């Protein structure tokens, strides 16, 4: 067991000891966990990311719901202790099904077990990867002028993410901290929301022409993807730009990369890249480039109004763009740029955006 895993296990056991001490002293067991809402995130000047504030929610055995949560937590900690001692791992989905044999502690749905793992991350200040809990395969990939050294079951291997991979690129591992950057000739990283647009950039040779590392976000990016972006930014000093569709859900994708997500604000200093810049489709781009567009749905409008109250978007830039989108009542996709031909995105749109940032 690695040192970090021993420390992680010690923190998990400390939670059990706390509950035991409360029971021994005749107290009703309870735990305070940070409230995971946008009203409880605040900007941390030192690291320039959004983290949880002081608001907490009490999980108390005074209620049946609270008692059940604490019971489930104890079962999960017991399972994690055994897993760490045996050097085994499991997925979030497997954890949910494992609880089938836990009687009253059984989870009714996976969201409950996922949230409990997040609670344990907050209470211990360790990540689920340290618990040996991993998500299902994400499939996000990178392609570009960078060589990576990776530890595998069969030993160490080096992979050049242009020469040694297929058109899909190098698949990002769950534990990004186990890989090492060997060589890098890139000038910047472009994180792309959709697989179709990633394929367009690769087919058009964007990575070779602009010395760019192309990262496929695969929609809302997994932690491993966000961690890799942060590492390339911090360790290789590579600027990161995010290229998405022009809708509220895509703006939230950018926010999770740059500002940290509300759901995992306890990990913002580990996952977020505060200097990341948005070069996706903006409402002003829909007008400027006369892009094909769809009308906003009721859910889109609700999400845009929510963004206006989200402290992560509290800037003149975002307020102006979101209000413009509500005014024109339109949204547009990355692929709408194909209106001007398949090469337009790599020959015109992206070079213009990158030039504004001084990257080309």
- The count of C-alpha atoms lying within 13 angstroms of the C-alpha of 100, restricted to the half-sphere facing its C-beta, is 4
| Burial class for 223, CB neighbours closer than 10 Å (0-12, 13-18, 19+) | buried
Helix axes 110-124, 64-85, angle to 10 degrees: 70
Whether 97 is a known active-site residue: answer: yes
Helix axes 3-24, 110-124, angle to 10 degrees: 100
- Give CA–CA dist 123/121, Å, rounded: 6
- Give CA–CA dist 124/6, Å, rounded: 12
Give the position of tokens 């070069």: 279
Q: Which residue among 75, 97, 270, 340 is the active-site one?
A: 97
- Give CA–CA dist 16/11, Å, rounded: 9
Q: What are the CA-CA distances from residue 192 to residues 37, 81, 170, 216, 263 (Å)? A: 27, 38, 15, 5, 22
- List active site positions: 97
């Amino acid at each position: 067991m690695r040192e970090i895993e021993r420390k992680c296990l010690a923190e998990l056991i400390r939670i059990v000891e706390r509950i035991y001490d409360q029971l021994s002293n005749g107290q009703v067991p309870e735990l305070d966990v940070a409230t995971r809402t946008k009203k409880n995130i605040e900007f941390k000047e030192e690291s320039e990311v959004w983290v949880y504030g002081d608001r907490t929610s009490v999980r108390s055995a005074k209620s049946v719901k609270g008692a059940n949560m604490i019971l489930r937590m104890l079962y999960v900690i017991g399972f994690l202790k055994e897993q760490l001692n045996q050097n085994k791992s499991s997925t979030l989905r497997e954890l949910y099904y494992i609880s089938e044999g836990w009687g009253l502690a059984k989870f009714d749905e996976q969201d409950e077990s996922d949230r409990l793992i997040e609670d344990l991350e907050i209470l211990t200040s360790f990540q689920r990867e340290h618990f040996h809990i991993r998500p299902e395969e994400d499939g996000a990939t990178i392609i570009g002028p960078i060589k990576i050294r990776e530890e595998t079951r069969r030993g160490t291997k080096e992979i050049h993410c242009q020469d040694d991979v297929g058109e899909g690129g190098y698949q990002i591992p769950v534990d990004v901290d186990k890989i090492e950057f060997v060589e890098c000739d890139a000038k910047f990283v472009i994180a792309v929301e959709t697989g179709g647009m990633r394929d367009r950039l690769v087919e058009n040779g964007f990575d070779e022409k602009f010395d760019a590392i192309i990262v496929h976000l695969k929609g809302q990016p997994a932690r491993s993807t966000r961690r890799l972006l942060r590492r390339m930014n911090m360790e290789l000093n590579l600027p990161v730009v995010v290229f998405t569709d022009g809708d509220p859900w895509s703006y939230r994708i950018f926010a999770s990369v740059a500002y940290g997500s509300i759901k995992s604000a306890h990990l913002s200093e580990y996952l977020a890249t505060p200097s990341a810049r948005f070069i996706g489709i903006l409402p002003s781009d829909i007008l400027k480039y006369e892009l094909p567009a769809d009308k906003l749905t009721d859910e889109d409008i609700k999400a845009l109004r929510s963004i206006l109250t989200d402290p992560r978007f509290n800037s003149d830039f975002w307020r102006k763009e979101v209000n413009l989108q509500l005014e024109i009542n339109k949204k547009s996709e990355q692929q709408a740029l194909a209106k001007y031909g398949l090469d337009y995105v790599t020959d015109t749109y992206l070079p213009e955006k990158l030039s504004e940032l001084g990257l080309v």
